Structure 1
Amino acid sequence: MLVTVGRIGRAHGIRGEVGIDVRTDEPDTRFADGAALVTEAKVSRTLTVASSRWHSGRLLVKFAEVPDRTAAEQLRNLFVQSEVDDDARPEDPDEYYDRDLVGLAVRTTDGAEVGEVVDVVHLPSQDLLEIRRTAGNLVLVPLVEELVPELDVDKRYVVVADRPGLLDPDGADVVPTEADAD
């Protein structure tokens, strides 16, 4: 199974290196010399890592198939994926592949079934669970311990600590503004 491990950023230098927006907790494994990655695009292609290094907190990768800056610029914004065994799990028990979370039943801390995880959205600041509520609408819940106190991949559920407006946007508390006081 393919899992997304990064997004190719801008070219670095003239020899075809690119910056990578890392989307894996195992970058040293996924971007190791010789690793084969597949681009996620209309026409996918395989790229072989020739070398990788950290520079100013950013991962730079040179692919064997990318000889120069011009070729590197053509790859910008493409997602790269790595082959992972279907039954593989990350080493850290608090880490998950997106595929492990999609399809989990969502319940509140009081046990009420409220929906299902349909996607995991990766943002620079945090990850979000995209949940399709049983009512049909989609909501985004930050994947942080305060809001997602329990997650059991084996038993196929996740518990969300519901807050006003989190799972039901129409139920959000209205904060009065100065204009309301007039």
Structure 2
Amino acid sequence: MSQSYVVARVGKPHGLRGEVTVQVHTDDPAARFVPGASFATDPAPRGPLLLTGVRRHQGVYLLSFEGHTDRDAAEELRGTRLLVDDEGESEPGDDWREEDLVGFAVSLPDGSHLGEVSALHVRPAQDLLEVRTTRGQVLVPFVEELVPEVDEDARRVVVDPPPGLLELGE
């Protein structure tokens, strides 16, 4: 059975010719973002979208879609999630998607409650977990040393921050 996955979320328009920035949610954007690729969308009425152009500018993917050839048309796509259907793409737990983690409880190694995962920011060097705490939002590098456990069944993430990480921004 196939399942839909978010591979990107459309951001702001770039320039005047319909290009949009995207927040990438796939580990292989070069294979996913090729001219001629078609994406289902969320919300569904905005798609499907046929990719006509791809380029990188200062590390950001810029995409163009058929029928969206100016800045106004590109602005209408802001917030759209690009979806693909994958059959057996990877084993569960090999990689994480934002929709997998949002809403998970976040605790410290001693079991005390820290907050809740509110977003996953995919970055070239390392991903960042955004955690909503009672004192505000905190970004935690999503690396094994700082996030030693992700329990899918319990919908819980354990964060082991170095001294001072949780105090940044206070």
The two structures share one fold, judged by TM-score above 0.5: yes
Structure 2 equivalent of residue 33 of structure 1: 36
- Asked whether the equivalents of residues 117 and 130 of structure 1 are also in contact (C-alpha less than 8 Å), the reply is yes
Which protein, 1 or 2, shows the higher relative CO under an 8 Å CA cutoff with sep ≥ 6? 2
Structure 2 equivalent of residue 141 of structure 1: 140
Per the TM alignment, residue 101 of structure 1 is displaced from its structure 2 partner at its CA by 0.7
Task: Find runs of 4+ consecutive structure 1 residues off by over 4 angstroms.
Answer: 52-60, 122-125
2:14 counterpart (6, 10, 14): 10
Distance change >3 Å, CA 155–CA 84, structure 1 → 2? farther
Per the TM alignment, residue 84 of structure 1 is displaced from its structure 2 partner at its CA by 5.8
Distance of 1:152 and 1:52 partners within structure 2 = 39
- Asked whether the equivalents of residues 37 and 80 of structure 1 are also in contact (C-alpha less than 8 Å), the reply is no
Per the TM alignment, residue 156 of structure 1 is displaced from its structure 2 partner at its CA by 1.3
Structure 2 equivalent of residue 108 of structure 1: 108
Percent of aligned pairs sharing the same letter: 31
Per the TM alignment, residue 95 of structure 1 is displaced from its structure 2 partner at its CA by 1.3
Distance of 1:164 and 1:154 partners within structure 2 = 29
Distance change >3 Å, CA 103–CA 89, structure 1 → 2? farther
Structure 1 equivalent of residue 90 of structure 2: 91
TM-score, with structure 1 as normaliser: 0.61
Distance of 1:50 and 1:131 partners within structure 2 = 33
Distance change >3 Å, CA 39–CA 10, structure 1 → 2? farther
SS at match of 2:164: coil
What amino acid is the match of 2:115?
G
What amino acid is the match of 1:112?
S
- Asked whether the equivalents of residues 46 and 80 of structure 2 are also in contact (C-alpha less than 8 Å), the reply is no
SS at match of 1:109: coil
Distance change >3 Å, CA 119–CA 75, structure 1 → 2? same
Distance of 1:84 and 1:154 partners within structure 2 = 25
Greater Rg, structure 1 or structure 2?
1
Distance change >3 Å, CA 154–CA 89, structure 1 → 2? farther
- What 5-or-longer segments of structure 1 have no aligned partner? 173-182
Structure 2 equivalent of residue 179 of structure 1: none
Distance of 2:160 and 2:108 partners within structure 1 = 6
Question: What are the superposed Cα offsets for residues 114-165 of structure 1, whole Å, 9 maximum, x if unpaired?
Answer: 32222224456543222233xx222221212221122222331111113222
Q: Any residues of structure 2 matched to 1:143-162 within 5 Å, and which?
A: 143-162=142-161
- Asked whether the equivalents of residues 14 and 62 of structure 2 are also in contact (C-alpha less than 8 Å), the reply is no
Distance of 1:162 and 1:22 partners within structure 2 = 26
Is 153-162 or 48-57 further displaced after alignment?
48-57
- Asked whether the equivalents of residues 6 and 83 of structure 2 are also in contact (C-alpha less than 8 Å), the reply is yes
Structure 2 equivalent of residue 48 of structure 1: 49
RMSD: 3.9
- Asked whether the equivalents of residues 35 and 54 of structure 2 are also in contact (C-alpha less than 8 Å), the reply is no
- What 5-or-longer segments of structure 2 have no aligned partner? none
